[in-house]
Amino acid sequence: MTAAAEPSNARIAESLLAFWADAGVDGMLLDETFDRIEAGKVAPPQPPPGRAAAPAPAAPTLRNQPDVSAAVAQAQAMAAEATDIEALGAAIAAFEGCGLRFEGAASQAVFYRGRADAPLMVIGEGPGADEDRAGQPFVGRAGQLLDRMLAAAGLTERVFITNTVFWRPPGNRTPTPAEQAICAPFVERAIAIVKPKMLLLVGGASAKAMLKKEEGILSLRGRWHEWRSADGAHELPAMPTLHPAFLLRQPAAKKRAWADLLTLTERLDRPDRPD
């Protein structure tokens, strides 16, 4: 019995080319670069002679969108006047520069709960429906899970809990960077008044806004970062962690959030170094 003849190089090449053609490949690498995108551009149609081209439609304007720079300046001025947490809460309640106040919130501003002299500040993303009704952050199912985790870590009486924005976003969506930027002066003023030793940043939107980073929470969590105020006057260690709402959907991730809390607690309880 004779062995089957080996296919020739030409047959192999022909078969390979047929395979790539079936896959939709219609070109090869060339010795010189060739911009296929530029080459494929089609010139826009020109109007007939004697007829002017119709003007392009104006970009739609968004209603209820404040001037971000003006709103930030107003927030900075109002926050700077607050000398304690109660005054800061009153300033937030009176602030009208954030569109969320008129879009998502049904009742009131949601500022904080916890101790006003806490060594740990917990900063989440934004209030939901339960928080909007109660006027306090993290009181729904996610907040109840957060409370159980803080209690297990011995942190219940050692926290000040707030968010990056103080009004509920419509449909519980993630707050936008512009909305967070407008509320940031109040968050920074809260940090200056409370004087915590460190920050626990809960969820990706909180971590990105506070740390000015683009990585996702799975990349940021579990590692120490440095938070710095806009004016550079304050710096604090910050630990990003998973949002409890995510943990309710993915219970297997709870061990990672628990590891973050243990890392934070160990540093929080570490004796201060003598000057």
pLDDT classification of 9: cutoffs 50, 70, 90: low
Instruction: Give the lowest-confidence range in 52-61, 110-119, 205-214, 242-251.
Output: 52-61
**Percent of the chain whose pLDDT exceeds 70:** 75
The pLDDT, as a whole number, for residue 49 is 58
The pLDDT, as a whole number, for residue 238 is 98
Q: What 8-state DSSP symbol labels residue 48? A: P
Write out the DSSP string of 184-246.
Answer: HHHHHHHHHHH--SEEEEESHHHHHHHHT--S-HHHHTTS-EEEE-TTSS-EEEEEEE--HHH
In this structure, is residue 63 part of a structural domain?
A: no
Measured distance between the N- and C-terminal CA atoms of the chain, rounded to whole angstroms: 91
How far apart, in whole angstroms, are the C-alpha atoms of residue 196 and residue 178? Answer: 26
The pLDDT, as a whole number, for residue 16 is 55
The pLDDT, as a whole number, for residue 63 is 45
**Positive or negative: CA dihedral 103, 105, 111, 113:** negative
Q: What is the mean pLDDT of the chain?
A: 84
Average pLDDT estimate for 40-50: 54
Give strand pairing partners of 236: 227
Q: What 8-state DSSP symbol labels residue 27? A: -
Average pLDDT estimate for 9-16: 59
Please report, for the domain that includes residue 227, its CATH number: 3.40.470.10
CA 156 to chain centre: 25
The pLDDT, as a whole number, for residue 2 is 47
Average pLDDT estimate for 34-55: 52
The pLDDT, as a whole number, for residue 54 is 53
In this structure, is residue 16 part of a structural domain?
A: no
The pLDDT, as a whole number, for residue 105 is 75
Who has greater pLDDT, 1 or 149? 149
pLDDT classification of 170: cutoffs 50, 70, 90: very high
Average pLDDT estimate for 29-37: 49
- The helix or strand, by DSSP H or E, that contains position 153, with its residue range, turns out to be none
How far apart, in whole angstroms, are the C-alpha atoms of residue 31 and residue 29? Answer: 7
**Positive or negative: CA dihedral 136, 139, 144, 146:** negative
Average pLDDT estimate for 211-224: 96
Q: What is the pTM of this model?
A: 0.76
**CA geometry: angle 42, 47, 52, nearest 5 deg:** 135
Q: Which of 267, 241, 265 is closest to 253 using CA atoms?
A: 241
Who has greater pLDDT, 132 or 29? 132
In this structure, is residue 58 part of a structural domain?
A: no
Asked whether the predicted pLDDT for residue 97 surpasses 90, the reply is: yes
In this structure, is residue 129 part of a structural domain?
A: yes
In this structure, is residue 29 part of a structural domain?
A: no
Q: What is the tally of structural domains in the chain?
A: 1
The pLDDT, as a whole number, for residue 55 is 52
Average pLDDT estimate for 87-103: 96
How far apart, in whole angstroms, are the C-alpha atoms of residue 189 and residue 80? Answer: 7
The pLDDT, as a whole number, for residue 104 is 74
The pLDDT, as a whole number, for residue 35 is 54
Asked whether the predicted pLDDT for residue 144 surpasses 90, the reply is: yes
In this structure, is residue 52 part of a structural domain?
A: no
In this structure, is residue 42 part of a structural domain?
A: no
The pLDDT, as a whole number, for residue 190 is 98
Quote the tokens at residue 226. Answer: 């440095």
Q: Which of 269, 184, 264, 270 is closest to 228 using CA atoms?
A: 184
**Residue 84: which domain range?**
68-268
In this structure, is residue 211 part of a structural domain?
A: yes
Q: Which of 74, 65, 206, 228 is closest to 137 using CA atoms?
A: 206
